[in-house]
Structure 1
């Protein structure tokens, strides 16, 4: 073999080796892309997304769309190749981001899935509360034991669902009060909880009474020290439970996170209100929502606007904090409407169905 041929062969082998390395090298990145959109007024997988299961509550015909939007993301246990990441950086319909922005603190795929499922469940509860309040209905709330840590001081004394009325005689009005009152103690001291047992609360709720007015009992729990900072803890997570005057079931599989809250709330109002909110228009959107109707920002807004446009949406309800990013790369032909609350969204829908769209508060690029 001549020196020229040997050099050519060595160069070829080196190039092949470098290409193989590029394919095999894994990088700490993840990819986002537009996900499916679902009309909250319609069906998904053969079932209504919003099902009003109440014989005493009238529902109304709806038209148009109120689509919630999603983002596809690579899973927590997926390891992206260097070539794949480089290709993703040049794609218009995807975004490659540092993996830690989606899965901080080294979360496993299982942990990320559990967290998304919990956030999705909480967003449904908040959407129901915001929607029913928008309709002028009262939604009684109460602070409850949301969960009990296995092996903690509270195990066997407090149960998930117990209504917490007071701690050491001080009234509890919201979940944050519980931790605040418990941490006034030193580890090893006793804390006295005044609770309505879960079975008593459930019985009162079925009878149509305020479940917090059932028979109370006092439970004494000896605090322990937290592993991280030695503050006093009892090993419970306090949360909020609601008594809904209308039974609303939200069914949407394979979706996680809190970002569909706003669109769920609007869908509920549309089904329970004689006013056809969209007037037949195709409206999509995103945003978290709390029980008071305040709309919060979400992640992946550029992917969601593209998904909405591809599905046929003409308007996209956008949380104010997401407006600059959405406006910077939003698809042509999709009107980005800025909202900060349920009231903003309701006003925007009124303008859309009455064809007064010139007055819509639109997103502007930052």
Structure 2
């Protein structure tokens, strides 16, 4: 649509108005008519109304460009940061989920050797003339739950959790099991240790009962026909030997050795009745306290690990032989436990 001709005002230089004394100019014969002028005006696209403000387009364009640049830079840098953060988090998650070369150990379940399991009595004694006696107390064998051993792989996340937990110990796997040991080999080893522990406990316990039959109130002749079977629920290793032996003797004697107390303990037992050192005793004491024990029989050879780690409310008693362990059991049952020796620095 053509712009109306009367909106256009041609700007002239400003002068002071003087009376015009000049002769009227002769109008050129070829003066353009109005239609020609309108056509020329339409083609003049740069013309503006006299009242229009001078354009600030270059200035506005510069500001817009700067703003656009800043916005683009802001989001570009933010995108890089966020992307880097995302990949860092993703990488961390992947690392945490990878298999860990560590073993984590924590307090495991306890088991009353005077009690029962799904297969029957933990210590089942049979034979002609053999009399079994009950005890109102408990003798707890204690365990450590281990993960990260062959067949029970853990992740790095679990290892980190273990380092942050004061009731968990984290150890390089090679310090716990031989390098290259398979899951089947590991399971066979712990099963063999448990079987050996039970066998030693049966032999040593019966031998001790025969040797001290008169003072224990046992008919020694009946023990010649005694047969002992031991049952456990998914427990392996040799460290229950001493407690199995004490449980066997307790069940053969008419006396109630425990005096109704909950007494826990750990330690291997050899053919001569010597109580040997075991691993994880700090964690085992925590498990004993958790499950209600107030007394803990500890191998004398483990005293360096016992001192400073006995939970509040649990009293340790150091023992080096089966006889010391049995006499400690009797003393506790009689209320004389405070006279017993304990581990010292």
Q: Which one has more relative contact order, counting CA pairs under 8 Å at least 6 apart? A: 1
Counterparts of 1:23 and 1:256 in 2: how far apart (Å)?
A: 30
Aligned: 1:313 with 2:268:
no
Aligned: 1:361 with 2:336:
no
| 1:3-58 deviations in Å (ceiling 9; x for gaps) | 32233233223322332233234331011111111111111126111111112212
Counterparts of 2:259 and 2:93 in 1: how far apart (Å)?
A: 56
Aligned: 1:341 with 2:341:
no
Aligned: 1:52 with 2:125:
yes
Q: Is the 8 A contact 2:133 2:251 kept in 1?
A: yes
Q: Report what 1:171 is aligned to.
A: none
- 1:83 CA displacement: 2.6
Flag structure 1 segments of 5+ consecutive residues without an equivalent: 139-242
Counterparts of 2:336 and 2:204 in 1: how far apart (Å)?
A: 26
Aligned: 1:249 with 2:323:
no
- The structure carrying a bigger strand percent of its residues is 1
- 1:344 CA displacement: 0.8
Q: Report what 1:12 is aligned to.
A: 85
Task: Please point out which of 126, 134, 146 is paired with 1:73.
Answer: 146
Flag structure 2 segments of 5+ consecutive residues without an equivalent: 1-71, 213-222
- 1:244 CA displacement: 6.1
Instruction: Provide closer, same or farther for how the CA distance between residues 246 and 137 of structure 1 changes in structure 2, counting only shifts above 3 A.
Output: farther
Aligned to 2:139, the other structure's residue is in SS state: strand
- 1:346 CA displacement: 1.2
Normalising by structure 2, we get a TM-score of 0.71
Q: Report what 1:164 is aligned to.
A: none
Aligned: 1:24 with 2:97:
yes
Q: State how many pairs are aligned.
A: 261
Q: Report what 1:108 is aligned to.
A: 182
1:27-46 to 2 correspondence within 5 Å?
27-45=100-118
1:1-366 to 2 correspondence within 5 Å?
2-45=75-118, 47-74=120-147, 75-136=149-210, 245-364=225-344, 366=345
Q: Is the 8 A contact 1:137 1:245 kept in 2?
A: no
Instruction: Provide closer, same or farther for how the CA distance between residues 102 and 244 of structure 1 changes in structure 2, counting only shifts above 3 A.
Output: farther
Counterparts of 1:36 and 1:24 in 2: how far apart (Å)?
A: 27
Larger Rg: 2
Instruction: Provide closer, same or farther for how the CA distance between residues 285 and 22 of structure 1 changes in structure 2, counting only shifts above 3 A.
Output: same
Counterparts of 1:333 and 1:12 in 2: how far apart (Å)?
A: 48
| 1:98-143 deviations in Å (ceiling 9; x for gaps) | 11122113211110110111111111111012111211259xxxxx
CA RMSD of aligned residues (A): 1.9
Instruction: Provide closer, same or farther for how the CA distance between residues 78 and 353 of structure 1 changes in structure 2, counting only shifts above 3 A.
Output: closer
- 1:89 CA displacement: 0.8
Q: Is the 8 A contact 2:204 2:245 kept in 1?
A: yes
Counterparts of 1:9 and 1:37 in 2: how far apart (Å)?
A: 50
| 1:140-173 deviations in Å (ceiling 9; x for gaps) | xxxxxxxxxxxxxxxxxxxxxxxxxxxxxxxxxx
Normalising by structure 1, we get a TM-score of 0.67
